[in-house]
Amino acid sequence: MNAKKWISLSLLGVALGCGVARAGADGGAADQFQKSYDAEAVGKTQEALAALDAVPAPQREGYVAQLRRGWLLYKLGKSAEAIEAYTKAIALEPRSVEARAGVLLPAMALRRWADVESGARELLKLDPGSYLGNLRLAFAVYNLGRYPEAAGVYRRLGEMYPSDVDVRDGLGWSLLKMGKPAEAAAELRAVLEVAPRNALALEGLKAAGAGR
């Protein structure tokens, strides 16, 4: 074998070796993501988080990992840490609707209603028709005591999602808090026609002084 051919083959070997190394690194990240998904699927959320945290850099600091980390931390009841992870995801992808919807969950768990409202409004700037954005905005302003505003959002959602019992429950309770028990009862009875054991509707009818 002449020197020129030997050098060419050597360089090819180096190139192939680098390619295998890169594929191995990517596979490692993919394998850890899969382990995380598999663990969550069988209810092992802590193991799912541990697998995610073992994803090698730079994927570990990337958008998908931070988004998923926020979700898993929320499921584990670590709401403050979940907010941090979701906030990192938003910083990486500022126009992400999914990350802005996600961060509202731990904020709601912590009852940070002003944060939920502002976060929902930021989401709705990107996606005005977002179901989750509107639903969580309505829930936030309801908990801030602005019942007519909450009722307005729930009504608009009800026009788009007429079968949604969460929306009708929300509207019923908003009307109840506004001192309109008859209108509230009508909404809550509509819920019970399709979900007869719905606890919020049953409680609302009782509070409204109305029977089924």
Per the structure block, which two tokens stand in for 62? 């990337």
Q: pTM of the prediction?
A: 0.82
| Alpha-carbon torsion angle 179, 181, 184, 189, nearest 10 | 170
Alpha carbon distance 36, 19 (integer Å): 26
Q: What is the pLDDT of residues 41-69, one digit of tens each?
A: 999 999 999 999 999 999 999 999 999 99
CA quadruple 80, 84, 86, 87: dihedral sign: positive
Buried residues in 167-189 as b, exposed as e (16+ CB within 10 A)? bbbbbbbbbbbeebbebbbbbbb
Whether the pLDDT of residue 6 is over 70: the answer is: no
Q: What is the pLDDT of residues 78-134, one digit of tens each?
A: 999 999 999 999 999 999 999 999 999 999 999 999 999 999 999 999 999 999 999
Query: What structural domains does the chain harbor?
Result: 147-212 (1.25.40.10)
Per the structure block, which two tokens stand in for 47? 């193991």
Question: Which pLDDT score, from 0 to 100, does residue 12 have?
Answer: 33
Q: How confident is the model at residue 3 (pLDDT cuts 50, 70, 90)?
A: very low
